[in-house]
């Protein structure tokens, strides 16, 4: 009987599978971080795509409509662009109901400091004038700033 006993020997090497519980926790944390980063990247690219579409629409307004020939159409489309951005950027506010000078004050309050805001007044009074006089280039510049900030 004693002859069948083996001498002291080392234990077998542990296998690589299944991993220890700490590796499972680490893998779970890595997966959660990857999902969170992917969601954030998708949101970021969504914002970039939306801003590009809005800037393309702004360029189309400038390309398709001459503010001297069709001032009411130009102001209407610019106002619509400002409103689309505002509805997306400020969903809990009453910006959808604002009109005229209240609407212009809302936009002015949201603009960055130092922006030349005189061109915005045309959004309030221009649609009601026979031949509105406004700074189309200044209005486009303000719209571009608005889209880049809130679009």
Most distant CA pair in the chain, distance? 117
pLDDT at residue 24 in the model: 95
Is the predicted pLDDT of residue 113 greater than 80, yes or no? Answer: no
Residue 8 or 43, more confident: 43
Q: Which residues contact 112 (CB under 8 A, 6 or more apart)?
A: 145, 149
Dihedral sign, Cα of residue 93, residue 112, residue 100, residue 135: negative
Spatial CA neighbour of 96 closest among 112, 80, 111, 109: 80
Instruction: State yes or no: cis peptide before 7, omega within 30 of 0.
Output: no
Return the higher-pLDDT residue of 2 and 31.
Answer: 31
Q: What is the pLDDT of residue 4?
A: 83
What is the mean predicted confidence (pLDDT) over 89-114?
A: 87
How high is the pLDDT of residue 1?
78
| Confidence check: pLDDT of 84 > 80 | yes
| pLDDT, tens digit, 9 for 90 and up, residues 23-68 | 999 999 999 999 999 999 999 999 999 999 999 999 999 999 999 9
The CB-side HSE value for 18 (13 A sphere, CA atoms) comes to 6
Provide the pLDDT for residue 131: 87
Q: 116 pLDDT exceeds 80?
A: no
Q: Indicate the pTM of the whole model.
A: 0.78
Mean of all residue pLDDT scores within the chain: 90
Query: In 4-33, which positions are buried (b, 16+ CB within 10 angstroms) versus exposed (e)?
Result: eeeeeeeeeeeeeeeeeeeeeeeeeeeeee
CA distances from 117 to 19, 23, 41 (A): 63, 58, 34
């Amino acid at each position: 009987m004693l002859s069948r006993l083996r001498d002291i020997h080392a234990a077998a090497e542990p296998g690589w599978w299944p991993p220890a519980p700490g590796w499972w926790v680490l893998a779970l944390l890595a997966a959660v971080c990857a999902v969170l980063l992917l969601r954030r990247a998708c949101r970021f690219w969504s914002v970039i795509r939306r801003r590009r579409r809005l800037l393309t629409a702004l360029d189309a307004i400038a390309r398709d409509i001459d503010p001297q020939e069709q001032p009411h159409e130009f102001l209407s489309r610019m106002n619509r662009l400002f409103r689309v951005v505002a509805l997306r950027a400020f969903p809990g506010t009453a910006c959808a109901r604002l009109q005229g000078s209240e609407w212009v004050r809302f936009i002015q309050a949201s603009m960055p400091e130092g922006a030349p805001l005189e061109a915005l007044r045309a959004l309030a009074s221009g649609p009601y004038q026979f031949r509105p006089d406004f700074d189309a280039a200044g209005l486009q510049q303000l719209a571009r700033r608005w889209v880049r900030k809130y679009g």
